[in-house]
């Protein structure tokens, strides 16, 4: 599997997200070992997933597995507070990280992301929290989630640590970041830039985009792979899957991986067979023609 340099981390291009690790009937140990055997060495958590239960299950499964802690990267996200909304105060960030570390049963986190923007954020408080966490050895790398360039720049007025990652929804059915760049100087719907050139901002500032929910369409309306609502897209996915000897799901991941922004893709499945099919397709490199054909099969147009 292709690796991406993120700071001093040589991370797999595919990330296993554990939001669904608490689903009934799942074997979390098998899921982790299948992912690791397929080349995945980066695992994404959040304290909000299962109200902390997912971190506990992940930590226990890691202990039971044959995977060495030092051979993988563990990431979590903090800042969403049930019943409140968002909290980027120094007190909350530090307490949330310590809670996550306890549930994960780890001595440190490889990376910490601020989970969605907090409009009441005070950059100086975040900076104090990050410095304390870094100095104490509890967190090695930092980043954000679902933030735009202006919000990141505001953080950087106080935060001294590099902000290395930004989790954003992206996939062949969530192409807003691409659309705006392709429709520059146009007056159609695709020309609307909702995030002020976030894709280009990320590349210019060497921030790794972590694409979440890559198989969803709409606002969590469901998966598009195999969905009869999207016959043209699925026909093209199947055509390319047959060509490369992988599955349509694998091609949907290859579409993201083909972009030169070196995007990591966060998969949320805990089913070993699904994890394996994604890993098996991780080395597929689509041609430009194939990439654009999928983009247009998804209902997008080119100017």
Known catalytic residues? 49
- Give the CA count within 13 Å in the CB-facing half-sphere of 278: 32
Give the three-state DSSP class for 49: helix
Helices (H), the chain: 28-37, 53-64, 90-104, 123-135, 149-156, 176-182, 198-204, 231-244, 248-257, 272-280, 288-297
The residue among 277, 273, 282 whose CA lies nearest residue 1 is 282
The DSSP symbol for 207 reads P
Dist. CA 163–CA 165, nearest whole Å: 6
Token output for 106: 């780890």
Instruction: List Cβ neighbours of 271 (8 Å cut-off, separation of 6 or more).
Output: 26, 31
Residue identified by tokens 């590349």 is: 203
- Give the CA count within 13 Å in the CB-facing half-sphere of 229: 11
Give the three-state DSSP class for 198: helix
Beta bridge partners of 217: 222
Question: How many whole angstroms from its chain centre is CA 177?
Answer: 15
Q: What is the H or E stretch that residue 170 is in? A: none
Cβ–Cβ < 8 Å for 92, 55: no
Instruction: List Cβ neighbours of 148 (8 Å cut-off, separation of 6 or more).
Output: 195, 196, 198, 201
């Amino acid at each position: 599997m292709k690796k991406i340099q993120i700071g001093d981390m040589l991370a797999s291009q595919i990330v296993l997200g554990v939001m669904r690790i608490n689903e009934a009937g799942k074997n979390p140990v098998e899921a982790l070992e299948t992912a690791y055997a397929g080349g995945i060495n980066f695992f994404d958590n959040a304290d909000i997933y299962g109200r902390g239960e997912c971190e506990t299950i992940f930590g226990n499964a890691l202990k039971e597995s044959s995977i060495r802690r030092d051979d993988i990267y563990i990431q979590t996200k903090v800042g969403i507070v049930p019943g409140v909304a968002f909290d980027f105060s120094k007190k909350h960030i530090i307490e949330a990280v310590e809670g996550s570390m306890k549930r994960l049963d780890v001595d440190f986190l490889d990376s910490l992301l601020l989970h969605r923007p907090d409009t009441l954020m005070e950059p100086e408080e975040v900076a104090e929290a990050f410095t304390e966490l870094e100095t104490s050895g509890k967190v090695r790398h930092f980043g954000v989630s679902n933030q735009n360039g202006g919000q990141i720049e505001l953080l950087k007025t106080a935060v001294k640590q590099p902000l290395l990652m930004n989790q954003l929804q992206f996939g062949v059915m969530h192409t807003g970041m691409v659309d705006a760049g392709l429709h520059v100087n146009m007056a159609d719907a695709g020309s609307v830039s909702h995030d002020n050139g976030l894709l280009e901002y990320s590349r210019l500032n060497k921030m790794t985009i972590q694409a979440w929910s890559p198989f969803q369409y709409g606002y969590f309306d469901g998966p598009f792979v195999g969905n009869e609502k999207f016959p043209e897209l699925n026909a093209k996915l199947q055509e390319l899957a047959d060509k490369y000897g992988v599955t349509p799901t694998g091609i949907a991941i290859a579409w993201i991986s083909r972009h030169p922004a070196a995007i990591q893709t966060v998969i949320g499945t805990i089913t070993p067979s699904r994890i394996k099919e994604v890993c098996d397709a991780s080395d597929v490199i689509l041609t430009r023609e194939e990439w654009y054909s999928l983009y247009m099969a998804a209902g997008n147009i080119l100017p």
